[in-house]
Amino acid sequence: MVKGLYDNRLNTNIAGLKMKTPITTASGTFGFGLEFTDFLDLEKVGAVTTKGTTLEPRAGNKGQRAVETPAGMLNCIGLENPGSDYFLKETLPELKKYKVPVIVNIAGSSPEEYGELAAKLDVKGVDALEINISCPNVKHGGIAFGTCPESAAEVVEQVKKNTSKVVITKLSPNVTSVTEMALAVEAAGTDAISLINTLIGVKIDIHRQKPVLGNITGGLSGPCVRPVAVKMCYDVAQVVKVPIIGMGGIMNAEDAIEFFLAGASAVAVGTANFVDPTIAETICHGILEYMDDHKIKKLSDMIGAALPEGKLPTK
Amino acid sequence: MAKKVVVEGKVIGQHVLNITTKQIDVKAPEIAQSAVPGQFVNVQVSKRNSPLLRRPFGIASVNKETGIITMIYRILGDGTKILRDVCSGDEISIVGPLGKGFDLKAKKPLIVGGGLGLAPLLSLAEGMEGKKADVLMGGRCEDDMFWTDYFAPISNNVYVTTDDGSMGIKGTVMAVLPKLLAANKYDCVYVCGPEPMMKAVAAECMKQKIKCQVSLEKYMACGLGACLSCSCEGIGERIKVCTDGPVFWAEEVGEW
Ligand SMILES: Cc1cc2nc3c(=O)[nH]c(=O)nc-3n(C[C@H](O)[C@H](O)[C@H](O)COP(=O)(O)OP(=O)(O)OC[C@H]3O[C@@H](n4cnc5c(N)ncnc54)[C@H](O)[C@@H]3O)c2cc1C
Ligand SMILES: Cc1cc2nc3c(=O)[nH]c(=O)nc-3n(C[C@H](O)[C@H](O)[C@H](O)COP(=O)(O)O)c2cc1C
């Protein structure tokens, strides 16, 4: 086994958010972190990103909410969450017991609501906010803001105005130009960008002649989306200056490394948590091994190395 | 609650029970030690990316001495077709024990099951702590009723119904249940099976004022309470089948 996971070769910095490993957990796939403490040491995860949280509790969608598809899954949870009051009163105090940065994923139905939520979460124990403007499974909010550069910018401005935390904006792949969206949120002041959220899809039950999911459409995640995600990371990394958290189908260290080489400063593991609940901690072993094999001294040396102008530093 | 673990379990053996059903025995001592009746495991049928997600199966039997856990499963789709071909000596990754099990306090229990719903109920019959339960089981035909061999040695009376009348009484469990409840002083009914059956059993128990526990099945991805795929409406609050259940008191379930 490789030395310690606190090996400082893995340190990364997302606009001031210091992470001991470049791994966070994709929102909605890791609960609030506490669900996984039987399987891993939360303090050895770079940062915990929570389930999407809204001002008021939400019940989510009716009917079947998930279904497996080739090398992936569709979900239409619909942002079920216990709401911000519950989060602040019950969940955050528990999370605070662990020395791990906390990124709270937030969603709202208007720019003002995002702002209000950001202000409410501007408390000790929250280290960053990830703005979810890309949830494909709710009618109000979410993706409506994620597909229009002006609306996205408005949300980012509202959040920035109301928080002292690092602000990460999570982009949707369901757009014509992800770079246009990235530039819009960067101009609006986001400190970092995360991408991608899920791709919209449908699965039909041919025996019932009906869509499988209660919401009809769902968000596609898992290994099948990875090439799309890597491409978007690769493109966005060439046009923005803010750091990127890459995600989409990362199942192991090799997959994560693709994103670093495509310009991501950190990555999130999502659907993989369902398959291997230890992955958010153990994936680092493979990254360190790769760095040993390729004589890479620190993570930052490989960030963007596969971009047109990029390369690994020569010894 | 007992610690959940992820283990590579060695497959001890598989047995064919009928054309679509198999039993698999896996050595997983950490899970065997702490599992309680009604809990389930999440099994990785393949290390490849497709099928991707683990498949949930009830724990049908546990041997704490040998550390072997038994699952009984129906061969349905891609995942169970791969599981069907797993050989003795192979290792499979198992996460468990998951969920909350049955309440074991009943003095005179009745177990009611249909189809693969009988799998978790077997661990209940086994684990009733000295009390032998009566069992009412339903199936399509005699070929489905291999279950009697499992339940008979560890139960009190076993009643069988089949849709086609090829074994026991013709009809569903509902052809027998009302009379059975009226004639006996059961203090708790435990039911697992197809949803319409569980609903009907729960309604009859309610009518005859007998406590009833149901073990629900909903599509789930993580089994850990994180993805919320299996979240449904309880009474006044949301319930997650994977961590708040799969076993619930019938009156806790708001949406079937
Ligand atoms: C808590 C729990 C306990 C279970 N215990 C048992 C058990 O002891 N024995 C047993 O045979 N089965 C059990 N099941 C159901 C079992 O998980 C599914 O049959 C299995 O996942 C099917 O996998 P597959 O790849 O073969 O089928 P797939 O190709 O995934 O699907 C085939 C068919 O099965 C349905 N299906 C798939 N997954 C589920 C699911 N999670 N719930 C309901 N339907 C599903 C699909 O909708 C489809 O119609 C349990 C399910 C849950 C949630
Ligand atoms: C069950 C499920 C729930 C999700 N919930 C959220 C959410 O609440 N907020 C959000 O921004 N993204 C959510 N996502 C998207 C993931 O965070 C991630 O962007 C996406 O799944 C791609 O990564 P993956 O392929 O590694 O899973 C969810 C994904 C899944 C599978």
**Is residue A50 within 8 Å of A84, Cβ to Cβ?**
no
Answer yes or no: do B221 and A66 touch at CB < 8 A: yes
Distance from the alpha carbon of residue B147 to the mean position of ligand 2, in angstroms: 41
Residue A296 domain-assigned?
yes
Structure token pair of residue A25: 């957990």
Percent pLDDT > 90 in chain B is: 95
Residues B168-183: pLDDT tens digits? 999 999 999 999 999 9
Cβ distance A146 to A175 under 8 Å?
A: yes
Side chain identity at A51, as an amino acid letter? K
Alpha helices in chain B (DSSP H): 29-34, 78-84, 118-126, 147-151, 177-183, 195-207
A137: pLDDT confidence band, cut at 50, 70 and 90?
Answer: low
Give the pLDDT confidence score for residue A138 in this predicted structure: 62
Query: Which residue range forms the structural domain that includes residue A269?
Result: 8-301
| The pLDDT value given to residue A142 | 58
**In whole angstroms, what is the distance from residue A89 CA to residue A147 CA?**
33
- Percent share of chain A, pLDDT over 70: 95
What is the mean pLDDT of the segment spanning A212-238?
Answer: 97
All residues at 6 or more sequence positions from B209 whose CB lies less than 8 Å from its CB, including other chains: none
Q: Which domains does chain B have, with CATH numbers?
A: 5-98 (2.40.30.10), 109-252 (3.40.50.80)
Q: Give residue-wise pLDDT tens across range A166-205.
A: 999 999 999 999 999 999 999 999 999 999 999 999 999 9
The rounded distance, in Å, linking the Cα atoms of A241 and A218 is 32
- Which among A60, A64, A273 has the least Cβ separation from residue B222? A273
Asked if residue A24 has pLDDT above 70, the reply is yes
Backbone angles phi, psi at A200, to 5 degrees: -75, 135
Residue A72 located in a structural domain: yes
pLDDT at A135: 67
How do residues B231-252 score in pLDDT, each as one tens digit? 999 988 899 999 999 999 999 9
ipTM, two decimals, is: 0.94
β-strand pairing of A199-202 with A217-221: antiparallel
Confidence of residue B254 (pLDDT cuts 50, 70, 90): confident
User: What local confidence, expressed as pLDDT, does residue A315 receive?
Assistant: 57
Q: Is residue A179 part of a domain?
A: yes
pTM of the model: 0.95
Which residues of chain B approach chain A closer than 8 Å at the C-beta?
3-6, 44, 49-54, 93, 95, 219-222, 224-231, 233, 238, 243
* Number of domains into which chain A is organized: 1
CB neighbour burial string for A281-299, b if at least 16 within 10 angstroms, e if fewer: bbbbebbbebbeeeebeeb
Q: Is A286 helix (H, G, I), strand (E, B) or coil?
A: helix
Residues recorded for chain B: 256
| Cα A234 from Cα B58, distance rounded (Å) | 44
- By the CB < 8 Å criterion, does A59 face chain B? yes
In this model, does residue A5 exceed pLDDT 50? no
Predicted confidence at residue A140, as pLDDT, reads 58
Calculate the CA dihedral of residues A86, A87, A92, A95 and round it to 10 degrees: 110
Strand partners, B158: B135
Strand residue runs (E) in chain A: 12-14, 17-19, 23-25, 48-49, 66-69, 72-75, 102-106, 128-132, 166-170, 192-195, 199-202, 204-205, 210-211, 217-221, 244-247, 266-269
Q: Looking up tokens 């039987």, which residue turns up?
A: A38
Task: Write the CATH number for A248.
Answer: 3.20.20.70
Q: Is residue A211 part of a domain?
A: yes
**pLDDT of amino acid B237:** 87
CB half-sphere exposure, B187, CA atoms < 13 A = 7
Assigned domain for A315 exists: no
- Give the pLDDT mean for A73-101: 96
